[in-house]
Chain A
Amino acid sequence: MLWTKKDLLGLEQLTREEINLILDTAESFKEVSTREIKKVPALRGKTAVNLFYEPSTRTRVSFEVAAKRLSADVINIAAETSSVRKGETLVDTGKNIQALKADIIIMRHNCSGAANILARNLDISVVNAGDGWHEHPTQALLDIFTLKEKLGKIEGLNVAIVGDIAHSRVARSDIWGLTKLGAKVILCAPKILLPVGIELTGAKTSSDIDEVLKKADAVNVLRMQFERDEGAAFPEQLEYFKKFGITQERLARAQKNIVVMHPGPINRGIEMSSAVADGENSVILEQVTNGIAVRMAVLFLVSQAKDIKK
């Protein structure tokens, strides 16, 4: 099949086939990073702009590395030091970047839907690198890619997502992606961190982490995003760790080969103990490596869709 979308805004709108196409493309790009000369000319002469309205290290660097391994030129804009501070609107900023003849904008924004608004106002590609609480499609794609690599398939897997579901764009993208590929997703969190109607996505919910871990083939542990919701109720940290924290002791009662994931950055001792983060079930650093292949695939596909349209 051919990829036809100029943008990647989220996984909710993608078909199973489109998700598989990204994963398959990522598979073939993964090898590039193992070469002596880690570069292919797929995006030579293209310009990708990292437009980040929120602080981010791992996602921004991952996209930058991905674009550079495809031979694209990369420009980084940290919005807090740009004319955004002078009151420029999102759409104006986007149109200026388009006028510079850039080809792809990779945007991180603290407002849900910001990437949609930018994408519908521009002809160039927009890749969502995380918008508010909405979606973080490339993170979910790399989670799924890593799981598939570890367990050989996605169909039929029991995948638990534990923690701050309410404020998590990763959780939303994971739910869409995993359920579309046939995994069973169970969300485990204190009630106040489970948003209204989340079970309508097809995911199940639970507040009993030990029960959930018994059946899970994989667990994705989310960070408590205190910074995302000023004034909102959060569980007390020690209490949360006691009830939901992923520890060696808990893992001992889970399936032996359970895959432990985390989108980073980790709050060690809040959602996960250090021993687990660094333990043998953890694939956290492999996720980071796979992130490059997945993002190479996404940048390549959206760029190709643009070229086909021409």
Chain B
Amino acid sequence: MSILIKGGHVIDPANKIDSVIDILVEGKKISRVAQNIQDKADQVIDASNKIVAPGIVDMHVHLREPGREDKETLASATAAAAKGGVTTVLAMPNTNPAMDCPQSIELLKGIINKTAVINVFICGTITKDRAGYELSEIDKLKKAGAIAISDDGSSVDNDELMSEAFKQAKQAGILVICHSEDKKLSGKGVINLGFNSTRLGLRGISAESEYKRVARDIGLAEKNLARVHIAHLSCKESVEIIAKAKQKQEKNVTCETAPHYFALSEDDIVDYDTNMKINPPLRTKEDVLAIKAGLEQRIIDVIASDHAPHTENEKEIEFERAEFGKIGLESGLAISVMELIDKKILSWKELIENISLFPAKILGINKGTLSIGSEADIIVIDPNQEFILEKKSIVSKSKNSPFIGKTVKGLVEHTICNGKPVYKYNNGIYR
């Protein structure tokens, strides 16, 4: 099969392309990138006035399968991803069973092969069952196919064990992704510690519980000359710590934030909306500005969704009993366009770097580019098309989005993955 994408504004930071140019896809791969391609193709996409970019690489996604198929499955999550313009995800390992041994990884690979419509890479755990007591066999996880390790959702409290993890990860040549949270400080907190937690009578989570652990994780990585990627930055101090660390250990420290940390603040937690209950929590307006500045100053490398589906039964309950987390695969691009492009924090080229090229580089995967010969993961976006994020149009099995009802901009019209159309606006998902 061949697809010709004609007349689109192609933004491919890897190849420094930012102009109107045509792309021809033949089979699984991009075969030509040139002006005015006249070749015949099975499908021609008129991309005039549209942006054509490498598919989004979302390096922080909870797929819930195996174990919690009531929340999400590989089939539903990857369909949601395709709708959101995401062609590659990194699956976080807090499944049941957790991705802490080759057998679990094989199990997940089987499900991916059967049901995924986009590329799914696997993150293994740092410790067995993510319990923080005994290291996983990191080299074996890597051999089984894991491309990173993380105890996401938890942090390894024991400094020596975490240091050993960095050491072994370096030997194995695998990336460590840190959920940096000191539980002794965050305790039973449910929202950011401050006036809002006081006003609402909810236990608070201090920024300190995050940034102190960020500093520790970076310190331990440095000690072992290992690479570290800090997940879901939410507060000003964390950005400052990363900025400093990057001056010293430039290539070894990377980080990500999520759209909700620049689009929402703790002040948006109205009427105890549990879709706003997220860990780390929504912070202050000042923190939101710091996250935006961190993106603008190119301190923050990646925007990832931290897609965390939960059923209504786990969400529409008492705030302190509700699960943490929100979905984000379908809304991430549009929220980023609204908050970062429209507000002139980032250019399109920079946004594409943050959501596609940089995460691919950090993960060491050959994605996030439109290079000739690379697998054709391409999205076509109408940058000016406004639409409303509606509950009824959510493809993900869970509907826990804090953005429902919001008018956004930047509509994904086509998603092509490995040369195959997987989503078209108004036509839905192709399997």
Residues of A123-169 at the interface with B, using a CB-CB cut-off of 8 Å, are: 131-135, 169
B317 touches A172 (CB 8 A): no
Minimal Cβ-Cβ distance residue in A for B195: A197
Number of interface residues of A (CB under 8 A): 26
B204 touches A116 (CB 8 A): no
Minimal Cβ-Cβ distance residue in B for A167: B201
Residues of A199-215 at the interface with B, using a CB-CB cut-off of 8 Å, are: 200-201
Q: In whole Å, how far is B177's beta carbon from the nearest beta carbon of chain A?
A: 31
A117 touches B318 (CB 8 A): yes
Minimal Cβ-Cβ distance residue in A for B188: A231
A112 touches B198 (CB 8 A): no
Q: Per-residue CB proximity of B187-212 to A under 8 Å, as 1/0? A: 00000011111111110100000000
B195 touches A200 (CB 8 A): yes
Residues of A80-118 at the interface with B, using a CB-CB cut-off of 8 Å, are: 89-91, 109, 111-114, 116-117
Q: Given A112-B319, A117-B318, do A197 and B201 touch, yes or no (CB 8 Å)?
A: no
- Bound form: Cα–Cα A89–B321 in Å: 11
Which one of B202, B204, B316 lies within 8 Å of A117 (CB-CB)?
A: B316
Which one of B198, B271, B317, B319 lies within 8 Å of A195 (CB-CB)?
A: B198
Which one of B196, B197, B271, B313 lies within 8 Å of A116 (CB-CB)?
A: B271
Minimal Cβ-Cβ distance residue in A for B320: A111
Contacts of A2 in B (CB 8 A): none
At the interface, yes or no: A37 with Cβ under 8 Å from chain B? no
- Bound form: Cα–Cα A172–B195 in Å: 12
A112 touches B313 (CB 8 A): no
B197 touches A196 (CB 8 A): yes
Max count, chain A CB within 10 A of own CB: residue among B199, B271, B313:
B199
Contacts of B202 in A (CB 8 A): 112-113, 132-134
B316 touches A91 (CB 8 A): yes
Which one of B195, B204, B316, B320 lies within 8 Å of A121 (CB-CB)?
A: B316
Q: Given A89-B313, A113-B272, do A196 and B199 touch, yes or no (CB 8 Å)?
A: no
Which one of A111, A135, A196, A201 lies within 8 Å of B319 (CB-CB)?
A: A111
Minimal Cβ-Cβ distance residue in A for B321: A111
At the interface, yes or no: A276 with Cβ under 8 Å from chain B? no
Contacts of A112 in B (CB 8 A): 200-202, 272, 319-320
Minimal Cβ-Cβ distance residue in A for B317: A89
Minimal Cβ-Cβ distance residue in B for A197: B195
B316 touches A111 (CB 8 A): no
- Bound form: Cα–Cα A120–B316 in Å: 10
- Bound form: Cα–Cα A111–B321 in Å: 8
Contacts of A121 in B (CB 8 A): 316
Which one of A91, A113, A117, A201 lies within 8 Å of B200 (CB-CB)?
A: A113
Interface contacts beyond A89-B316, A133-B201, A196-B194: sample of 6 additional A-B pairs, CB < 8 Å, sorted by A: A113-B202, A114-B318, A132-B320, A134-B202, A196-B195, A196-B204
* Sample of 13 A–B contacts (CB below 8 Å): A89-B313, A91-B316, A111-B319, A111-B320, A112-B201, A112-B272, A112-B320, A117-B316, A131-B201, A134-B201, A195-B197, A196-B195, A196-B198
Interface residues, chain A, with chain B CB atoms under 8 Å away: 12, 89-91, 109, 111-114, 116-117, 120-121, 131-135, 169, 172, 195-198, 200-201
